[in-house]
Structure 1
């Protein structure tokens, strides 16, 4: 039988749940911008943590403190949970908070696995992306699978250094949706980027890597001399950065191709692009009659027939 001393119990009680998550590589997304933020686990999105309280909605279980959390999450008895918490060393709370605020981006390469079956199956069979596009991204080390089966889309700078990454789940969560997130500290004005052609003259912008790869799948032969950028939402900063980078490499940016979603946020951002860069320089290539370019790709894969060509004119 596992036994623990009162000193070990007191030591474990000093650890915050959020630091226990970090130490054990348990992914959680911060939510709630007003008041005290709370966290939702990536793998079990019905498990919510606020301060030192937690509640697992799908199981109708909850508790307070890191020991109780470890017991619930790992299905451990009390002494085993204490031992599990104390397996790791934790810096003083003040030092941890300062370090977290100031630390630079570090890509967690140790999360990667060599197997790519889950991400290939999801992207090709579920999202209908051209398998040649997926294979190309894997070969270029732009797309990898992590140990939780997520698809990881690497953001790389002009020197090929990773400065951020998107993560896309490949299996449904408790609520039926799929996990989406960015690696912490990813470059604010960065994004998943692919150059098609050696002399990019246009920048095509998208809201997600899957939209971008779907677009490329639809327009394989037409996308030429273009830098495709996934902004991770709608961020004019990412577009500005792409323009600056191309110019610093000696390229002339002739046009911005707006391939964002066909919804309120996408429409507003499309107008923002025109206001910022001028109407004549912005090419409207938003999807028609559907929300995004993955919907277009799925439609054309399900019912192959001739469709109007993109307005990119390349």
Structure 2
């Protein structure tokens, strides 16, 4: 395996350390000139006092530059993967890798701006079970993975986790069964590079793409016995297909994208756009059962069973 060129390594080192960590879900306060401490992890410190920005994570006995951080916390001490993780189009590959250097507007959106609980979620439980037909075992599975929450107004939160399992965003949906139109949207402050995702196995081959978390959970309930080594992803809308790049960059074993969007014009448009944008992957249409049963989405399919 050829050695990485110094120019490529230096490019990886030049990715701004604090901005990168903010994209991972951390928030920092400036303690003194060029010194920053994480609000969430008080033992995580970033300093710009030296020629190269350095982090110290005293809790885990870590210190070093941005490549050291990625090696220690993301790529299992694999130097080459850490460099690839930080760069885009710098190493010969048939795939793009994600560059995490953010502009100032993006880094301000790294932490969700809402109070919520992952323990007291009886309204969410009732909504999913009674209104959406999700069984208790499946709901408990998603709760156990830290993927469901409830805010102070009893809205359901479908939490977005990054590769370090930190909450970096959420979809929000009203749970009131007595009104026909429920509030839906993305929580303010969500990192737009991530979506609601559920992992099955450890080395993912297939990425299943949905428009909404409810459809993802419904699909899982219907097909869980035959799902292996795959990642289920809700993009939170048929147009938000750029999110897919985050996951195929992080999990390089993914070689197939199965599009499970709605059985309507916008869903078909999303399928065609994904097929055109991600040509390095095998893109499949996963909506055959929706068409054969004459339903719009996988929750409707579940409710008809």
Q: CA deviation at 1:198?
A: 1.7
CA separation of 1:125/1:241 partners in 2, compared to 1, >3 Å: closer, same or farther? same
Contact 2:113 2:189 in 1 (8 A): no
Do residues 185 (structure 1) and 185 (structure 2) align? no
User: 1:154: how far off?
Assistant: 0.8
Partner of 1:296: 301
- 3-state SS of 1:295 partner: helix
| Separation in 2, partners of 1:103, 1:207 | 25
Query: Which runs of structure 2 are paired with 1:16-165 in the superposition (5 Å)?
Result: 103-108=108-113, 110-112=115-117, 114-165=119-170
Tell me by how many angstroms 1:172 deviates.
4.7
Larger radius of gyration: 1
In structure 2, the residue matched to 1:283 is 284
Aligned residue number for residue 96 of structure 2: none
- Picking from 213, 216, 219, the partner of 1:212 is 216
Higher relative contact order (CA 8 A, sep 6+): 2
Partner SS state of residue 261, structure 1: coil
Residue 265 of structure 1 pairs with residue 266 of structure 2:
yes
The alignment covers a number of residue pairs equal to: 197
TM-score (norm 2): 0.60
Question: How far does residue 293 in structure 1 lie from its aligned partner after superposition?
Answer: 0.6
CA contact (8 A) 2:169 2:190 kept: yes
**Cα distance, 1:220 vs. partner?**
1.0
How has the CA–CA distance of structure 1 residues 272 and 150 changed in structure 2, closer, same or farther, with 3 Å as cutoff? same
> What is the RMSD of the two structures over their aligned residues, measured on CA atoms?
2.2
Quote the Cα distance in structure 2 between the aligned partners of 1:191 and 1:147.
Answer: 22
| Runs of at least 5 residues in structure 2 that lack an aligned partner in the other structure | 1-103
| Structure 1 segments unaligned to the other structure (5+ residues) | 1-98, 301-314
In the superposition, the TM-score normalised over structure 1's length comes to: 0.59
Change (3 A) 1:202 1:279: same
Aligned-partner Cα distance in 1 for 2:117–2:229:
31
1:263, distance to aligned residue in structure 2 (A): 0.7
Contact 2:207 2:230 in 1 (8 A): yes
Contact 1:193 1:230 in 2 (8 A): yes
Deviation digits for residues 264-288 of structure 1 (CA, Å, limit 9, x no counterpart): 1110111112222349811211122
Residue pair 2:132, 2:303 contacting (<8 A) in 1 also: yes
CA deviation profile, 1:98-137 (whole Å, cap 9, x unmatched): x999734323463337322211111011101132111011
Q: Secondary structure at the match of 1:265?
A: helix
